[in-house]
Amino acid sequence: MPRGGHLYPLPTNLRFIFFYNVCATTLWFCCLGRFLILLPLVGRRFLPGGIADFFHVVAILPFVGFAIYKSMIDTSISKKDFWPFFNSVKMIWICYGVIFPHPKIAKHTSYSLIIFSWCITYLISFSYYGFKVKTRRSPHWLFWAQYHNFFLTFPLAFTGELVIIFLSLGFVEPQWHEIFIKATLLGYIPIGYFMWGHLYDRKELKFDLAMEKRRQGRAAQNQRNSNDANQAPVVVNDAQQHPLRESTSRADA
């Protein structure tokens, strides 16, 4: 628990949200653990047989979490909902629309990049929001990781997704499906550019601005403490006010 954090009584809807975040964090942690154990043991070519089914189910959790949040917490629709919705749908499509019909492509290194990057991203994300719901704050390291992990995970995920979609071209048969995959590949780079910008803007808004306000608050508090210390009354005793009287009294004695 973060320093100074408190456990707040939660209404029913927030209890459910907290429970979902805890369960999702556990599942992503298990998925990452299985990946880190299996990859050195069996290698990337045999990795899908031990993790693919579980990983593809876990990959649905962001979409389910988005749907739960929009139905129980914030029912309004705004522009900020686009990227979470788009990303969660994209994950389901890659798992069940690209990899599942063509399992041979999962033996490529790009599949390992996808598993690792998604696990790290959502393990951090669900942990962070679990803390936020229950304690209304989070440990500083988790707060930092939530808004900085994309510097590592986004390039890995973007590369893995782009390669795995490209590899699926060798297996698609209907012409319309091939055209759709090619159009997706053409649109992936500009979409990735805008998504990177969204993640960077989110970091500046959520993390950098919060840190700046915190620094300003500390500076203002230090300034108030300094002013209070300077304005404190100085107590002067009688001996300090009349040093000659004290010396004379000693001489008379």
Say what the pLDDT of residue 253 is: 41
**Per-residue pLDDT for 63 more than 70?**
yes
Q: Is residue 198 part of a domain?
A: yes
Band of residue 221 on the pLDDT scale cut at 50, 70, 90? confident
Contact 27, 61 (CB under 8 A): yes
> 136 with 8: CB under 8 angstroms?
yes
**Planar angle of CA 183, 186, 191, nearest 5 degrees:** 110
Average pLDDT over residues 94-118: 96
Domain assignment present for 1: no
Number of domains in the chain: 1
- For residue range 150-174, what is the model confidence (pLDDT) as tens digits? 999 999 999 999 999 999 999 988 8
pLDDT tens by residue, 107-159:
999 999 999 999 999 999 999 999 999 998 899 999 999 999 999 999 999 99
Q: What's the pLDDT score for residue 232?
A: 57
Residue-range definition of the domain harbouring residue 171: 12-220
Contacts for 136 with CB less than 8 Å, ≥ 6 apart: 5, 6, 8
Give the residue among 138, 162, 151 at the shortest CA–CA distance from 200.
151
Residue 2 counted as domain residue: no
What pLDDT band is residue 7 in, cutting at 50, 70 and 90? low
Confidence of residue 1 (pLDDT cuts 50, 70, 90): very low
226 — pLDDT class (breaks 50, 70, 90): confident
Which tokens go with 132?
């936020």
More confident residue, 64 or 77: 64
In a domain, 253, yes or no: no
pLDDT band at 228 (very low <50, low <70, confident <90, very high): confident
Residue 180 within a domain: yes
